[in-house]
Amino acid sequence: MSMTDVQPNSRLKSFLKDQLRNIAPVFTLLALVIFFAAASSSFFTVVNFMNILSQISITSIIAVGLTYVILTAEIDLSVAAIANAVGITIAYFTLQPDYVNIANLPLPGIIAIVLTLLTALCFGLITAFGVTWIGIPSFIMTLAIMQIANGVSALLVRGQIAYSYPDLITMLGSGSIFGIRWTIIVAILFLGIGHLVLTYTRFGRYIYMTGGNREAAEYSGVNVKFIIGSVMVISAMCSGIAGMLAVAYFGSAQQNQFDSYLLDAIAAVVVGGTSLFGGRGGIGNTIIGLLVLGVLNNGLDHIQIDSFLKILIRGLILLSALIINVYAQRLKESE
């Protein structure tokens, strides 16, 4: 074999090693689309594609913040609980003015929204303080915040179901414009802005530097504590906004409403190819991961598969993504 044959092969192997976590999700998505399109005549339609986008819209908003966190080699297990707590909080402020307004008048929608966003901000700031200043590992800290948020949800809703929220939230969560649901538009905006920040700003570069090599980032003058604290706050705010929109999307606010969203959001980020070890991946990967999960869940409904088997298949897909993620990291380290 000549040297000219060896060099292209070597470059191809190097490319595959470097891009494995990006290539695998794309092929997975294509395979799922082809399979479900062949299995069901109602799958590959414009209407169903819009259904898929609608179904993943709330998860998309949560996943934006979670992508930032995972890129710094941290984790946030509280995203679903915060979304649930904030969704219930917006309904609480709308339904229970007596506790927050001595005039016994309903709070204006914008004030209820601002107070609810401040609730999400508080969750994020507490998490950031615990992780960066006290030094609690993000896994444990966000696990505690998850429990606290669940407690807030239980305390406010007390086993009841709330149906009222501000008009703006109702419009964005359940309304549409030109036949496109507002939740899809909001999700696209979040994904787009998230991508631009990561790709074209100094803050985005610092996130990648922090996740890629924290010690080197500190030597380069990056305030690593500030970056990690910031992504924790961003994650909480994304979860809070998703929670507010979701109560209108679902048509009610109740306890344990977001139980499946933690796994969905983490799966979207990881399945898409963002490294659990930090520094590699991004919003583009998350979009592919979201589409993989959306196509999978929607397609399984079209072929009327057993709901329990559906859960198993989702778990196997996530496990496969984790294996690829770890294997890709080992290939990178072996170079």
Q: Please give the share of the chain, as a percent, with pLDDT higher than 70.
A: 86
Residue 7 lies in a domain: no
pLDDT of residue 100: 44
pLDDT of residue 206: 95
Residue 56 lies in a domain: yes
Domain that holds residue 155: 23-334
Query: Is pLDDT above 80 for 8?
Result: no
* CATH number of domain containing 165: 1.10.3470
pTM: 0.87
Residue 9 lies in a domain: no
Tell me the pLDDT of the chain averaged across its residues: 84
Residue 193 lies in a domain: yes
Confidence of residue 27 (pLDDT cuts 50, 70, 90): confident
What is the number of domains present in the chain?
Answer: 1
Confidence of residue 7 (pLDDT cuts 50, 70, 90): low
- Take residue 45 and report the two structure tokens written for it: 């339609």
- Residue by residue, what is the 3-state secondary structure of the chain? CCHHHHHHHHHHHHHHHHHHHHHHHHHHHHHHHHHHHHHCCCCCCHHHHHHHHHHHHHHHHHHHHHHHHHHCCCCCCCHHHHHHHHHHHHHHHHHCHHHCCCCCCCCCHHHHHHHHHHHHHHHHHHHHHHHHHHCCCHHHHHHHHHHHHHHHHHHHHCCCCECCCCHHHHHHHHCEECCEEHHHHHHHHHHHHHHHHHHHCHHHHHHHHHHHCHHHHHHCCCCHHHHHHHHHHHHHHHHHHHHHHHHHHHCCECCCCCCCHHHHHHHHHHHHCCCCCCCCCCHHHHHHHHHHHHHHHHHHHHCCCCHHHHHHHHHHHHHHHHHHHHHHHHHHHHC
Residue 17 lies in a domain: no
Average pLDDT over residues 210-217: 90
Residue 291: closest CA among 118, 17, 52: 52
Residue 288 lies in a domain: yes
Residue 2 lies in a domain: no
Average pLDDT over residues 42-61: 91
Question: pLDDT digit string (tens) for 223-273?
Answer: 999 999 999 999 999 999 999 999 888 887 888 888 889 988 998 998 888
pLDDT of residue 21: 65
Question: pLDDT digit string (tens) for 286-295?
Answer: 999 999 999 9
Residue 12 lies in a domain: no
pLDDT of residue 98: 44
